[in-house]
Amino acid sequence: MTLLPKALLLVAALGLAACNNPDRYKGADGAGGMNNGAGTGGINTNGLGDPSNPRSIAYFNQSVGDRVLFPVDQSTLTPEARGVLAGQASWLATNGDYAIIIEGHADEKGTREYNLALGARRAASVQDFLISQGVAPSRMRTISYGKERPIEVCSDEGCYSKNRRAVTVLSMGAGA
């Protein structure tokens, strides 16, 4: 009888391990696909994790800025967001070996379907702005997570506002 609970635990652990996708960004950040734009995960190949290296992912995330925030139920870029994205476009212009994934996110209010659509509009808004700044569309793809990947979970505006975002995630290989 003690073998059955152990076997079930092993199956559950293997099942969860199968859900992890470490190549989500083709090894660019080493975060096992759970980056959410929060920074590098420890890989330091050719300075990718060095925040003092202007060509690094860590530098992009910390100095240029990897995310923009949105008002409630909006996908229109704020002036502050446009400033961050102009910096991203400039950085991408001088670092042509990177491709990007633009993640659209929403707060936990509203239905799953509504928030997935809102996240998609936010990601598209960022993509459109970057294209207008000269970033090639072939270097970008978008994905919406809606409310599925919050940065913070609580029931106040401070948390909600951080979750209404678009995150630009770098990956090596602009042709990828």
Rg (CA), the chain: 18
What's the gap between Cα 83 and its chain centre? 18
- pLDDT tens profile 15-35: 544 444 444 444 333 333 334
**Amino acid of residue 55:** R
Task: Output the pLDDT for position 165.
Answer: 97
- pLDDT tens profile 150-165: 998 887 787 889 999 9
pTM, 2 dp: 0.71
Q: Which residue spans within 2-89 are E strands per DSSP?
A: 67-69
C-alpha to C-alpha distance for 94 and 87, rounded to whole angstroms: 11
